[in-house]
Amino acid sequence: MPVRPRHTYDPELGRRIDELNKKPADTRAIADYEALGAPLGPSEDWDLEIENLAIPGPGPEIPVRVYRPAGPAPSPRPCLVWLHGGAWVGGDLDMPEAHETARGVAGRADAVVVSVDYRLCSETVHFPAPHDDVVAAYRWVRDNALELGVDPARIALGGASAGGNLAAGATLRLRDEDETPWQALLLYPLVHVPIPAPSDELAAALTQVPMPMILVDEQLEEITALMLDGAPAETAPAYMFPGRAEDLSGFPPTYIDNDEFDSLRSSGELFGEQLRAAGVEVEQVLSEGVLHGHLNIVGLGAAHATLDRLAGRLRMS
């Protein structure tokens, strides 16, 4: 099988990037960038039972969507509590990163997936509201494992982008409160502020990414100020940006999947190094040829490969 040259886009995505690059930057519209994430194929077909619920939360009830493989299981199934991305201010249970990921993992792994619609930050909602919702949702799944058909000893906590950040922060808190999840599954997470400096190799890759598709520190500072109700980024607690934690020992086995053409990759890679230094078992993967948020592109081959790997983690004993 031929080896893909480094810093070459996935062919499916590359054609779209080429079309975008043909347009002068000052003539591009939001729709031109949104077109990069349009479906490349149909949704996968899985035989699942899907149920929308509202569970108790520390504030309002928390909407969750439960995905169960149809038919009985010989024993309780593993479970993934899943968190979508959206920069902490957007996203919902219907976006592909939530719905298609949950369906794909549940079907592949014969597992239960609980997708969580945590509170989004706004002018009136700030940290730790989304963090508290995630912790409450994890505990609800654990406490209702029998009714959900879930093995309480095999409940993983995971998410993508901002959801990966929340999954890491909630895992850190649950470790501190002696409730450590079975695994942490983190997809292209941002867990540091400011964003760690890129390696020379990553910096070279980022020169090929169309602007404004790279998150920079100035944007992160604005988002963080909203999350912290105006407080500066350097005051963010470790539960908000877990890469700032002084002690990561006792963190559960962790899977980190970074996107090749993504400024946040430096954060995911550094977090993997920090966890290993603390004695944590880490599997770190680079999804080659893709931009940040590749799970949002329905039909993308690299997204299917990521779902295969996530399912493999849930099939672990």
DSSP class of 119: P
Cβ count near 282 (within 10 Å)? 19
> pLDDT category, 317, cuts 50, 70, 90?
confident
Q: Which of 208, 236, 204 is nearest to 220 (CA)?
A: 236
Instruction: Please say if the pLDDT value at position 1 is more than 50.
Output: no
Summarize pLDDT for 169-188 with one digit per residue, the tens: 999 999 999 999 999 999 99
Whether 161 is catalytic is yes
Helix (H) or strand (E) holding 122: none
For residue 183, give both structure tokens.
Answer: 């695994």
Catalytic residue among 84, 131, 192, 292: 292
Instruction: Please say if the pLDDT value at position 84 is more than 60.
Output: yes
Mean pLDDT throughout 108-137? Answer: 98
For residue 305, give both structure tokens.
Answer: 């490969």
Q: Which of 175, 182, 192 is nearest to 268 (CA)?
A: 192
Whether 199 is catalytic is no
The residue type of 220 is L
Instruction: Please say if the pLDDT value at position 2 is more than 80.
Output: no
For residue 100, give both structure tokens.
Answer: 């298609």
Whether 262 is catalytic is yes
Mean pLDDT throughout 74-86? Answer: 98
Instruction: Please say if the pLDDT value at position 3 is more than 70.
Output: no
State CA 91 to chain mean position distance.
12
Q: Which of 54, 43, 64 is nearest to 112 (CA)?
A: 64
DSSP class of 292: T
Q: Which residues of 35-56 are buried (b: 16+ CB within 10 A; e: fewer)?
A: ebbeebeeeeebebebeeeebe
Catalytic residue among 10, 117, 257, 262: 262
Statement: the pTM of the whole predicted model exceeds 0.85: yes
The residue type of 96 is P
Catalytic residue among 115, 161, 263, 287: 161
> pLDDT category, 233, cuts 50, 70, 90?
confident
d(CA 3, CA 216): 31
